[in-house]
């Protein structure tokens, strides 16, 4: 496993943005982590660019390059023509000086190989029998077709890329040399390893920048050079290939397409036979190579970069020794994915589990990263996704669970906003306050149904109230109320436990007790008088009798 793109697990935050931006959905999600499905991946780098947490990283091959430089053989650098957009004010002479300080034997422009390739394209428009020809410079486009749209493989130009053409030429002229390609593309690393006899190592501009910084090497600016040559320097811009070609073949329309979405749509049109007699320049990246994923991080200046490349390109071709067509031709085989596509019944079962039993339930909101709910269900069947990735599903599940708790609670619960307006109320609260319909009070000030002072106090003091007994005179009810202020959500929640029956029972008992005490007092008083009379007759002191009866009275009082 080459792992051109790696995942930093600790950084993945389950945002699904990588899935959302992946044009072929070659990302699986399990264990709360995103994983790149290598055999489906086309190395477009969209996930790398889109990830807000920098959870994806490109494999670093600087050590490999250093080892090649230390090996004793002459190392030639092939610099992609988009370098002038990545390194502002740096021309090829400045690049040569900097790279030679790193130890490179020689530095040349990949645009030399582009000159060779564009001439081969011109031959194809004359000799090719296919009515639609797709350029083969972009390895990501090639892999997209090989893996996902093999129907159009016959339309893909069987011509090597500028990188391969240039490195082949270098090794042909210098058999002892090794080559290192440097550019803005991730997929070139994979292409380089497919043709190890031609390309010995591939670095990105990011890797080069870090290497130069590590060695404390900076570029010299404004070094003079001959700018007449180099028309093929236009290759990294949208339409750049066509601008270098002789497009006078009247049988063909010449079209430039950039960006994965546009490329896929064009490929589908070819499959549906909606396009004929056409040469299509296809680039995976928006704006072509100057929009590559491995340009220096967060450099987004498509117009400025286009103008920079356009100004740097000459109006004449590089003078190159011609190469035989046999040397420039290559076969581009079908790469089978061997995926078992789930049937409609399996997909329907997954949709049901997601609560999508009817067509109108399929929101196709894209929050999970997939374009449609059926795509997501298919991914679940294939083990690439799970049910919890559906935001509406989770939201509905959470709301249903929450609503079930609130609505089935024996306690009255209602929610106010900071303006003390009713936001939510359950049936128990409606029963306490004799409200027929919840809709009658939603959005209304709480003063319409309750004395608001206690809620105003909680809001002002930001101190919660717990289990405070309150008498709701207008409803003739006693409640034990807890009021919680959630500052983060800007709400107050009241939980009322109806204790009316308990309190009424207590009051009735208190009334009975008081009446009992009165009767007891009367009886004691009467008995004391009687006892005093008897005591006087018997010659006993009343003091002792009074003490005994008082104790009896106190005993009854406490009961």
From CA 486, how far away is CA 170, in angstroms rounded?
Answer: 70
Same domain, 196 and 277: yes
Q: Name the DSSP class of 103.
A: T
Give the pLDDT band (50/70/90) at residue 538. low
| Domain with 418 in it | 409-498
Under a CB-based contact definition with an 8 Å cutoff, are residues 21 and 202 in contact?
Answer: no
Q: Is the pLDDT of residue 547 over 90?
A: no
Under a CB-based contact definition with an 8 Å cutoff, are residues 289 and 239 in contact?
Answer: no
What CATH number is attached to the domain comprising 13? Answer: 3.30.70.20
Q: Is the pLDDT of residue 540 over 60?
A: no
Same domain, 367 and 312: no
From CA 427, how far away is CA 433, in angstroms rounded?
Answer: 10
Same domain, 54 and 73: no
Same domain, 421 and 371: no
**pLDDT score, position 8:** 75
The average confidence (pLDDT) of the chain is 87
- Whether 545 is in a domain gets the answer yes
Question: CA quadruple 202, 206, 212, 217: dihedral positive or negative?
Answer: positive
Residue 360 C-beta-side C-alpha neighbours within 13 Å: 0
Helical (H) or strand (E) element with 278: strand 278-283
- Whether 361 is in a domain gets the answer yes
Measured CA distances, 214 to 59, 79, 98, 275 (Å):
18, 20, 13, 50
Report the 3 state secondary structure along 183-224. Answer: ECCCHHHHHHHHCCCCCCEEEEHHHHHHHHHHCCCCCCCCCC
- Whether 336 is in a domain gets the answer no
What CATH number is attached to the domain comprising 442? Answer: 3.30.450.20
Q: Write out the two tokens for 296.
A: 């220096």
Same domain, 371 and 225: no
Among 32-41, 195-204, 424-433, 467-476, whose mean pLDDT is lowest?
32-41
- Whether 304 is in a domain gets the answer yes
- Whether 366 is in a domain gets the answer yes
From CA 209, how far away is CA 189, in angstroms rounded?
Answer: 17
Same domain, 229 and 277: yes
- Whether 527 is in a domain gets the answer yes
From CA 377, how far away is CA 353, in angstroms rounded?
Answer: 10
Give the pLDDT band (50/70/90) at residue 559. low
* Number of folded domains that form the chain: 5
- Whether 70 is in a domain gets the answer yes
- Whether 504 is in a domain gets the answer no
Measured CA distances, 87 to 79, 90, 218, 219, 310 (Å):
12, 6, 11, 9, 15
Q: Is the pLDDT of residue 360 over 90?
A: no
Same domain, 366 and 476: no
Under a CB-based contact definition with an 8 Å cutoff, are residues 34 and 8 in contact?
Answer: no
Q: Write out the two tokens for 150.
A: 């093999």
Q: Average pLDDT for residues 399-426, to the nearest whole number?
A: 84
Q: Average pLDDT for residues 23-28, to the nearest whole number?
A: 90
Residue spans of alpha helices (H) in 237-369? 240-244, 260-271, 302-312, 325-328, 344-353
Which residues, listed in sequence order, are joined to residue 144 by a DSSP beta bridge?
none
Same domain, 422 and 554: no
Same domain, 324 and 442: no
Q: Which residue has the higher pLDDT, 176 or 527?
A: 176
**pLDDT score, position 539:** 55
Question: Collapsing DSSP states into helix, strand and coil, what is residue 132?
Answer: strand
Same domain, 316 and 435: no
């Amino acid at each position: 496993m080459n792992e051109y793109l790696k995942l930093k697990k600790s950084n993945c935050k389950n945002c699904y943005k990588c899935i959302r931006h992946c044009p072929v959905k070659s990302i699986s999600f399990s264990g709360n982590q995103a994983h790149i499905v290598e055999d489906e991946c086309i190395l477009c780098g969209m996930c790398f660019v889109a990830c807000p947490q920098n959870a994806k990283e490109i494999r670093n091959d600087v050590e490999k390059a250093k080892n090649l430089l230390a090996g004793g053989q002459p190392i030639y650098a092939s610099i992609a023509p988009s370098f002038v957009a990545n390194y502002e004010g740096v021309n090829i002479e400045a690049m040569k000086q900097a790279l030679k300080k790193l130890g490179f034997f020689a530095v040349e422009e990949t645009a030399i190989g582009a000159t060779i390739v564009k001439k081969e394209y011109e031959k194809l428009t004359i000799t090719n029998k296919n009515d639609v020809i797709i350029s083969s410079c972009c390895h990501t486009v090639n892999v997209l077709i090989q893996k996902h749209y093999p129907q159009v493989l016959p339309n893909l130009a069987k011509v090597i890329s500028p990188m391969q053409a240039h490195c082949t030429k270098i090794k042909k002229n210098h058999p002892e040399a090794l080559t290192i390609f440097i550019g803005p593309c991730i997929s070139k690393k994979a292409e380089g390893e497919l043709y190890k006899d031609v390309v010995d190592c591939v670095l990105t501009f990011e890797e080069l920048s870090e290497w130069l910084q590590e060695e404390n090497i900076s570029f010299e600016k404004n070094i003079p050079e001959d700018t007449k040559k180099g028309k093929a320097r236009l290759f990294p811009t949208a339409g750049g290939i066509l601008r270098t070609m002789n497009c006078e073949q009247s049988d063909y329309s010449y079209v430039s397409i950039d960006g994965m979405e546009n490329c896929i749509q064009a490929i589908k049109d070819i499959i549906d036979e909606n396009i004929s007699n056409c040469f299509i320049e296809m680039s995976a990246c928006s704006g072509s190579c100057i929009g590559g994923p491995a340009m220096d991080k967060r450099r987004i200046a498509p117009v400025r970069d286009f103008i920079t490349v356009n100004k740097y390109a000459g109006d004449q071709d590089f003078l190159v020794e011609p190469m035989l067509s046999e040397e420039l031709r290559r076969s581009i085989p079908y790469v089978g994915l061997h995926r078992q596509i789930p049937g409609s019944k399996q997909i329907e079962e997954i949709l049901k589990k997601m609560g999508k039993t009817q067509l109108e339930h399929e929101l196709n909101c894209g929050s999970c990263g997939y374009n449609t709910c059926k795509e997501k269900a298919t991914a679940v069947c294939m083990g690439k996704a799970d049910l919890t990735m559906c935001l509406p599903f989770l939201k509905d599940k959470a709301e249903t669970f929450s609503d079930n708790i609130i609505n089935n609670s024996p306690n009255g619960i209602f929610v106010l906003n900071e303006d003390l307006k009713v936001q939510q109320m359950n049936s128990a609260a409606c029963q306490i306050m004799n409200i027929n319909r919840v809709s009658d009070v939603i959005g209304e000030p709480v003063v319409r149904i309750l004395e608001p002072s206690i809620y105003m106090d909680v809001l002002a003091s930001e101190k919660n109230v717990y289990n405070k007994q309150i008498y709701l005179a207008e409803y003739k009810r006693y409640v034990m109320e807890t009021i919680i202020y959630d500052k983060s959500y800007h709400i107050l929640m009241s939980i009322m436990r109806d204790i009316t029956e308990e309190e009424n029972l207590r009051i009735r008992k208190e009334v009975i007790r008081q009446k009992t005490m009165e009767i007891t007092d009367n009886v004691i008083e009467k008995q004391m008088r009687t006892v005093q009379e008897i005591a006087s007759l018997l010659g006993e002191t009343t003091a002792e009798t009074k003490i005994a009866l008082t104790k009896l009275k106190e005993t009854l009082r406490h009961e």
